[in-house]
Chain A
Amino acid sequence: MSLINIKIEGIPYQIEDGQTILQAAKKCGYEIPSLCSFNNGECSQGSCRVCLVEVKGARGLVASCVYPVNDGMEISISSAEAVAARRRSVELLLSDHNQFCQACDKNGKCELLHVANVTDARSGIFPGSHNRVHLDEVAPGLVRDTSKCILCGRCIERCKNAHGLGILGFEGRGFNTFVAPAGDRSFSDSPCIQCGQCVNVCPTGALMEHSEIDKVDHALRYGKKIVIAQAAPAVRAALGEEFGYKIGTPVTGRMIAAMRRLGFARVYDVNFGADLTIMEEGTELLGRLKNGGVLPMITSCSPGWINFAEYNYGDLLPHLSSCKSPHQMQGAILKSYWAKQNDVAPEDIFVVSVMPCTAKKFERQREQLKVNGICDVDAVITTRELARMIKRAGIIFDRLPEEEWDRDIMGTYTGAADIFGVTGGVMEAALRTVYFKLTGKEAEPVEFKDVRGHDAGIREASLDINDTTVNVAVASGMKAARILLDEIREGRSKYQFIEIMGCPGGCINGGGQPYVREFFLPNEDDDILETYKEKRAAALYSEDERNTIRQSHNNPQIRELYEKFLGEPNSHKCHELLHTTYAPREGYNELKDE
């Protein structure tokens, strides 16, 4: 890359060619406000006009997020004209924005408010008509409210980039333009997988998770049920970010303490369910390998991925493991074994899962997961929602003691379960146990580092275990998954076992995780947008390393559960409680008249 000379505010800088003004200015120490540009240029429609700057010789002001720098360019960010124009752009955006900011769940994390602040924009400057509001509160996972949408197009790009899906698009024209799934349908009536990646990039509150805090409140306040909380591994790796901790700081102990103070009768780790999943899934895989079952077998922990498979690869559903996901398994055990041990009726237990995920909200309502008509899990809240509940309760997170999980009956977990939260983790955890089952001894070293990663894309490994060659692959994000799935469809897949996670990077980057926005994270490194996934993943791998037990089959409470209740892995009872079925679904289903 060649170096060029530019001037900003008359001061000379030497920078690399081939960047936009916005990117170059950042390296020179200037933060130009922008909305439609995101993630270092992942999406730049040049449409919001918030990043206007003056370039000597250019016709009018230019949008710095799309305008490339060139040698000798003279840029002014602080010229009176540019400052006024940026302010006007934001004021125009505000003029068609529902400004009920106090009651917005994005309050405190809204980028529109941030740019309004740094551009000195005033509200109410351009009174006039408002665009019609399109509200979708039907989907269990996501809510779309166009009264807060600024038409930046980030959600559209993210859906395409992460999944090659493109559920959302611009509809209509001119002032009446809005963002929606085709035909202004609900997410529920489109092949949306409800992963929440669009929520993660929305600068305002136009796209949000479908909150279930009210449901939890109700159960805690008025219900006569025992309210039990269980948290997924990826939550502890990111929750701290909501309370000012640096990204990648695990906050397990304080999170448990906070959940107790919110009134949950028991606080369990979904890692126990993850260990259980490995026992079931590992056994299922060995059975398929031995008995000539459908291969490759594909993991089934990610509800976003399950949705994608049912919509797009209905013919490949026999490849999916029949295992429920860990929190569903654990919910089923809570409402059977735990209920019996504690002499409680299953219907008197209310299970709340804390998840990095919005698709889990959809998953928990699936008919196929119910046992005797009862849901395994009664409410799913995201990492962000848990943080809201903690703040609401006046808890100073920092001052909480570090507490331990409840460990009666369940709650002991292994390092194998910890790493479920990152792409490749389920694969590695399964391999640790499969290796043992095939050879009778533990793998040395315990790690299978070839399948590790923290980003979208495909990784693969080939293992020789006792003369059995096992080819495995790992993919996260549906764009990568498609490649592996098309191979299977065309009969040229060389794998026996595949792990697929819905979100790029796995659960650490789930649609329910804390937002990563540079300007709200002043203490993070400049490259945090590139490194946050790696840092969150490292938090989980370090928990794995610290754990004294690192293989699911060595979890003493799991052994006890099988001895006292379930019998063997994949037993009849296991199938009743811990396994499920799938069915192809129509993407754009026929709408019923109201």
Chain B
Amino acid sequence: MAKLQEGAVRLINEICDRYKNEKTPLMMILSDIQNEYGYIPLEVQEVVSKRTGISVAEIYGVVTFYSFFSLEPKGKYVIGCCLGTACYVKGAQIVIDRFSELLGIGPGQTTADGLFTLDALRCIGACGIAPAVSINGKVYPKVDVEEVEGIIDFYRKEATA
């Protein structure tokens, strides 16, 4: 397994220790690591396993169960298209297809320049403004398929600015 840098191992251990006294600390540890690094590869899971005594297979199971966690590095901008029931009924599939077409990637993938990741999400609890798209925490309500190109351009410009 590729060796992690010493600093990374130290930080992961420190994150694990934050929840030492919790009965079931795994979700909290993984959330912190996801927020810190943007993804949780197997090497990192091994460090967590060593520190907490939770088996790698169990950690891997949790990481692959929740779509919030990722095994691969994510792009600078993570585009989350909600495909929950309400959004789907309001045309979310056409919206995500348009993102997919313009970015040249499928859901779950990241563009080669590392700028965008496209995620299909289950319900994000914003049914009142369906179809909803969330980009790095900012939520776009009632997204029309015609708006998609503009949204992408906005972030492309922001990235070069």
- Enumerate chain A interface residues (CB-CB to B < 8 A): 156, 160, 165-173, 180-183, 190, 586-590
Pairwise interchain contact B42-A183, C-beta atoms closer than 8 A? yes
Pairwise interchain contact A586-B65, C-beta atoms closer than 8 A? no
Given A588-B46, A589-B1, A590-B2, the answer on whether A172 and B59 have CB atoms closer than 8 Å is no
Say which residue of B1, B42, B65 sits within 8 Å of A172 (CB atoms).
Answer: B65
Interface window among B50-58, B82-90, B97-105: B50-58
Q: What residues of B have a CB within 8 angstroms of the CB of A167 in the complex? A: 55, 57
User: Does B35 sit at the interface, judged by CB under 8 A?
Assistant: no
Return 8 A-B CB contacts under 8 Å, by A number: A169-B58, A169-B61, A171-B57, A172-B64, A172-B65, A173-B65, A588-B1, A588-B46
Pairwise interchain contact A168-B57, C-beta atoms closer than 8 A? yes
User: Does B110 sit at the interface, judged by CB under 8 A?
Assistant: no
Pairwise interchain contact B60-A160, C-beta atoms closer than 8 A? no
Q: What residues of B have a CB within 8 angstroms of the CB of A165 in the complex? A: 55
Say which residue of A168, A170, A180, A182 sits within 8 Å of B42 (CB atoms).
Answer: A182
A-B pairs, 7 with minimum CB distance: A166-B55, A169-B57, A182-B60, A169-B61, A182-B56, A170-B61, A182-B57
Pairwise interchain contact A588-B55, C-beta atoms closer than 8 A? no
User: Does B45 sit at the interface, judged by CB under 8 A?
Assistant: yes
Given A182-B45, A182-B60, A588-B46, the answer on whether A169 and B55 have CB atoms closer than 8 Å is yes
A168 to B58, CA, bound (A): 8
Q: What residues of B have a CB within 8 angstroms of the CB of A173 in the complex? A: 64-65
A165 to B2, CA, bound (A): 22
Q: What residues of A have a CB within 8 angstroms of the CB of B43 in the complex? A: 588
Please encode chain B, from 34 to 75, with 1 for each CB lying within 8 Å of some chain A CB and 0 for all others. Answer: 000000001101100000001111111100110000000000
Q: What residues of A have a CB within 8 angstroms of the CB of B2 in the complex? A: 590
Pairwise interchain contact A156-B57, C-beta atoms closer than 8 A? yes
- Nearest A residue to B53 via CB reads A164
Q: What residues of B have a CB within 8 angstroms of the CB of A183 in the complex? A: 42, 60
- Enumerate chain B interface residues (CB-CB to A < 8 A): 1-2, 42-43, 45-46, 54-61, 64-65
Q: What residues of B have a CB within 8 angstroms of the CB of A589 in the complex? A: 1
- Nearest A residue to B60 via CB reads A182
A166 to B49, CA, bound (A): 11
Pairwise interchain contact A166-B60, C-beta atoms closer than 8 A? no
Q: What residues of B have a CB within 8 angstroms of the CB of A586 in the complex? A: 1
Least distance between A474 CB and chain B CB atoms (Å): 25
Q: What residues of A have a CB within 8 angstroms of the CB of B64 in the complex? A: 171-173
Q: What residues of A have a CB within 8 angstroms of the CB of B59 in the complex? A: 182
Tally of A-B residue pairs with Cβ under 8 A? 49
- Nearest B residue to A172 via CB reads B64
Least distance between A220 CB and chain B CB atoms (Å): 39
Pairwise interchain contact A588-B57, C-beta atoms closer than 8 A? no
Pairwise interchain contact A588-B56, C-beta atoms closer than 8 A? yes
A166 to B60, CA, bound (A): 11
Q: What residues of B have a CB within 8 angstroms of the CB of A168 in the complex? A: 57
A586 to B42, CA, bound (A): 13
Least distance between B57 CB and chain A CB atoms (Å): 3
A404 to B3, CA, bound (A): 56
Given contact pairs A166-B57, A590-B2, a sample of 12 additional A-B residue pairs in the complex whose CB atoms are under 8 Å apart = A160-B55, A165-B55, A166-B54, A168-B57, A169-B55, A169-B61, A171-B57, A171-B60, A173-B65, A183-B42, A587-B46, A588-B43
Q: What residues of A have a CB within 8 angstroms of the CB of B46 in the complex? A: 587-588
A590 to B64, CA, bound (A): 20
- Nearest B residue to A589 via CB reads B1
Least distance between B12 CB and chain A CB atoms (Å): 15
Say which residue of A160, A171, A590 sits within 8 Å of B61 (CB atoms).
Answer: A171
Least distance between A119 CB and chain B CB atoms (Å): 29
A182 to B45, CA, bound (A): 10
Say which residue of B1, B56, B57, B58 sits within 8 Å of A590 (CB atoms).
Answer: B1
A123 to B64, CA, bound (A): 31
Least distance between A46 CB and chain B CB atoms (Å): 17
Q: What residues of A have a CB within 8 angstroms of the CB of B57 in the complex? A: 156, 166-169, 171, 180-182
Least distance between A536 CB and chain B CB atoms (Å): 29
Q: What residues of A have a CB within 8 angstroms of the CB of B55 in the complex? A: 160, 165-167, 169
Least distance between A292 CB and chain B CB atoms (Å): 33
Given A171-B64, A172-B65, the answer on whether A166 and B58 have CB atoms closer than 8 Å is yes
A170 to B57, CA, bound (A): 7
A180 to B54, CA, bound (A): 16
A167 to B64, CA, bound (A): 16
Least distance between A159 CB and chain B CB atoms (Å): 8
Q: What residues of A have a CB within 8 angstroms of the CB of B1 in the complex? A: 586-590
- Nearest A residue to B2 via CB reads A590
Least distance between B148 CB and chain A CB atoms (Å): 28
Q: What residues of A have a CB within 8 angstroms of the CB of B54 in the complex? A: 166
Least distance between B38 CB and chain A CB atoms (Å): 19
**Max chain B Cβ within 10 angstroms of own Cβ: one of A166, A180, A586:** A166
A587 to B1, CA, bound (A): 8
**Max chain B Cβ within 10 angstroms of own Cβ: one of A167, A168, A172, A183:** A183
A589 to B3, CA, bound (A): 11
A47 to B1, CA, bound (A): 34
A172 to B71, CA, bound (A): 12
A588 to B45, CA, bound (A): 11
A156 to B65, CA, bound (A): 17
A8 to B61, CA, bound (A): 39
- Nearest B residue to A192 via CB reads B57
Q: What residues of B have a CB within 8 angstroms of the CB of A587 in the complex? A: 1, 46
Q: What residues of B have a CB within 8 angstroms of the CB of A588 in the complex? A: 1, 42-43, 46, 56
A24 to B123, CA, bound (A): 43
**Max chain A Cβ within 10 angstroms of own Cβ: one of B2, B42, B59, B64:** B64
A165 to B55, CA, bound (A): 7
A380 to B53, CA, bound (A): 34
Q: What residues of A have a CB within 8 angstroms of the CB of B60 in the complex? A: 169, 171, 182-183
Q: What residues of A have a CB within 8 angstroms of the CB of B45 in the complex? A: 182
A166 to B56, CA, bound (A): 7
- Nearest B residue to A586 via CB reads B1
A588 to B55, CA, bound (A): 12
A183 to B40, CA, bound (A): 12
**Max chain B Cβ within 10 angstroms of own Cβ: one of A181, A182, A590:** A182
A181 to B54, CA, bound (A): 14
Least distance between A329 CB and chain B CB atoms (Å): 34
Q: What residues of B have a CB within 8 angstroms of the CB of A180 in the complex? A: 57
Q: What residues of B have a CB within 8 angstroms of the CB of A172 in the complex? A: 64-65
Least distance between A312 CB and chain B CB atoms (Å): 10
- Nearest A residue to B67 via CB reads A173
- Nearest B residue to A590 via CB reads B1
A529 to B96, CA, bound (A): 55
Q: What residues of A have a CB within 8 angstroms of the CB of B42 in the complex? A: 182-183, 588
A465 to B111, CA, bound (A): 72
